[in-house]
Amino acid sequence: MEKYFLGSMAEEGFRSDFHKLISSDGVYTYILKGGAGTGKSSLMKKIAARFEGLSDIVTYCCSSDPDSLDAVYVKKANALVVDGTAPHTFDPEFPAVKQVIVNLGDHWDGDVLREHTSDIIGVTLKHRGYMNTVKSYVAAMTKLFDDTYFSAQGDAAADRIEAFAEKTAAKLFQKKCSARGKAEFSLLSAVSPKGYMTQTATLDGIEKIFTVKDDYYAAGDIFLKKIADEAMRRGYDVTISKSNMFTQSVYEFVIIKELGMAFALSSPMNGYENENAAKINVMRFYNKKEMALKKARLKMNKNACAKLLEETAQTLTEAKKVHDEIEKYYIAAMDFSSVDDTAERLCKLIDEKLAV
């Protein structure tokens, strides 16, 4: 089962490319609405369990709580179920014909909740305060990561890196067809209460992994973008994961499922290592003399980001505790037997799509 994140905190707030999947041709989306503790994640886990073995399943985790689901995609049925509440608010663009709202708020007792109005508002505002702090920390990290990236980019031999990527692609990729492959964007890594977390389970299913060692991101980004382009030029579809820790598009992982192959940036940010992976060191493409002049600055950026990431993870942990307090009020007011009925109804609708 493939696992990704729906999105993550970025400089501007929550960032996600998930709307692209919702708007994809043939995909029908059930958008769940309801507050914390209304059973959205549990409902999606039931759907994932029900159809595992009958279809390829892709799950999308919550970056603020990686044990919770934000979406599940039953590929064979082209059916998507997603949490459409803040911070990832989704609404139907083509109601009934491509998307429909499933309101779990229909199953709560409003009178019970109103008895705790001031408490619910209080903990909700407290949670919002924590998330605003997380946003500030991430914005600070982004400035430092950007500084490292752009400082290194000017001293990266782009022509040599692209030539090396072309040579690598020629060895690894046979030409499949004349048609160009497609790019799909899914998020493998995100800031979470566990630090900068990568959904390694998705990579564990890949037969051949190449780790691209780069402490400064720029050379690795150039290499991965060229590898992705070369794979698509030969007719292969690619799954690309960009890091949300930069203001611009910086590639972190490229997966070519048909070839059972993946290229993973190994950096101070993600700390990704795989003992069975083939190693590619793109650090050799930097101008060593010029990079040496920036050593102190780059080291300061690295250390400051590590500390900010530690504080971000701790703040997200505290935010999760407050979110759990919010959930308690809603859990006490929910009729979960009705939520189970809703889950069963969705399963039947997806079953019908599988049969087509």
- 89-109 confidence digits (pLDDT tens): 999 999 999 999 999 999 999
- The confidence score (pLDDT) of residue 247 equals 96
- Do both 70 and 165 map to the same domain? no
The answer to whether residue 168 sits within a structural domain is yes
- Do both 96 and 179 map to the same domain? no
- Do both 79 and 170 map to the same domain? no
Query: What's the whole-number mean pLDDT along residues 195-215?
Result: 95
The answer to whether residue 131 sits within a structural domain is no
The answer to whether residue 127 sits within a structural domain is no
The answer to whether residue 186 sits within a structural domain is yes
For residue 168 the two structure tokens come to 């690598």
The answer to whether residue 206 sits within a structural domain is yes
The answer to whether residues 259 and 236 touch, using CB atoms and an 8 Å cutoff, is: yes
The answer to whether residue 306 sits within a structural domain is no
Query: What's the whole-number mean pLDDT along residues 60-87?
Result: 97
User: In terms of residue numbers, what domain contains 86?
Assistant: 2-108+335-355
The answer to whether residues 197 and 66 touch, using CB atoms and an 8 Å cutoff, is: yes
- 32-64 confidence digits (pLDDT tens): 999 999 999 999 999 999 999 999 999 999 999
Angle, helix 295-333 to helix 117-153, in steps of 10 degrees: 160
Residue 175, pLDDT > 90, answer no
- Do both 208 and 270 map to the same domain? yes
Cα dist. 282→53, 140, 255, 285 in Å? 40, 27, 19, 6
- The confidence score (pLDDT) of residue 262 equals 98
- Do both 104 and 143 map to the same domain? no
- 230-265 confidence digits (pLDDT tens): 999 999 999 999 999 999 999 999 999 999 999 999
- The confidence score (pLDDT) of residue 1 equals 80
Residue 176, pLDDT > 90, answer no
- 109-166 confidence digits (pLDDT tens): 999 999 999 999 999 999 999 999 999 999 999 999 999 999 999 999 999 999 999 9
Query: What's the whole-number mean pLDDT along residues 275-283?
Result: 95
Report the alpha-carbon distance of residue 194 to residue 309 in Å, rounded.
10
Residue 177, pLDDT > 90, answer no
For residue 79 the two structure tokens come to 């059916």
- Do both 171 and 52 map to the same domain? no
Q: Which amino acid is at 199?
A: Q
Report the alpha-carbon distance of residue 275 to residue 27 in Å, rounded.
38
Block residue for tokens 């101070």: 268
- Do both 22 and 148 map to the same domain? no
The answer to whether residue 221 sits within a structural domain is yes
% of the chain surpassing 70 pLDDT: 100
Measured between its terminal Cα atoms, the distance across the chain in Å is 23
| HEC string for the chain | CEEEECCEEECCEEECCCHHHHCCCCCEEEEEECCCCCCHHHHHHHHHHHHECCECEEEEEECCEEEEEEEEEEHHHCEEEEECCCCCCCCCCCECCCEEEEEHHHHECHHHHHCCHHHHHHHHHHHHHHHHHHHHHHHHHHHHHHHHHHHHHCCECHHHHHHHHHHHHHHHCCCCCCCCCCEEECECEEEECCEEEECHHHHHCCCEEEEEECCCCHHHHHHHHHHHHHHHHCCCCEEEEECCCCCCCCEEEEEEHHHCEEEEEECCCCCCCCCCCEEEEHHHHECHHHHHHCHHHHHHHHHHHHHHHHHHHHHHHHHHHHHHHHHHHHHHHECHHHHHHHHHHHHHHHHHHHHC
- Do both 149 and 79 map to the same domain? no
Q: Which amino acid is at 274?
A: N
- Do both 208 and 348 map to the same domain? no
In sequence order, what are the residues at sequence separation of 6 or more whose Cβ sits closer than 8 angstroms to the Cβ of residue 64?
9, 131, 192, 193, 316, 319, 320, 323
Residue 356, pLDDT > 80, answer no
The pTM (predicted TM-score) of the whole model is 0.95
pLDDT band for position 30 (cuts 50, 70, 90) = very high
- Do both 185 and 95 map to the same domain? no
Report the alpha-carbon distance of residue 139 to residue 349 in Å, rounded.
42
Report the alpha-carbon distance of residue 154 to residue 69 in Å, rounded.
40
- Do both 283 and 348 map to the same domain? no
Q: What average pLDDT does the structure give for the chain?
A: 96
- Do both 69 and 165 map to the same domain? no
pLDDT band for position 355 (cuts 50, 70, 90) = confident
Number of domains in the chain: 2
pLDDT band for position 205 (cuts 50, 70, 90) = confident
Residue 304, pLDDT > 90, answer yes
The answer to whether residue 215 sits within a structural domain is yes
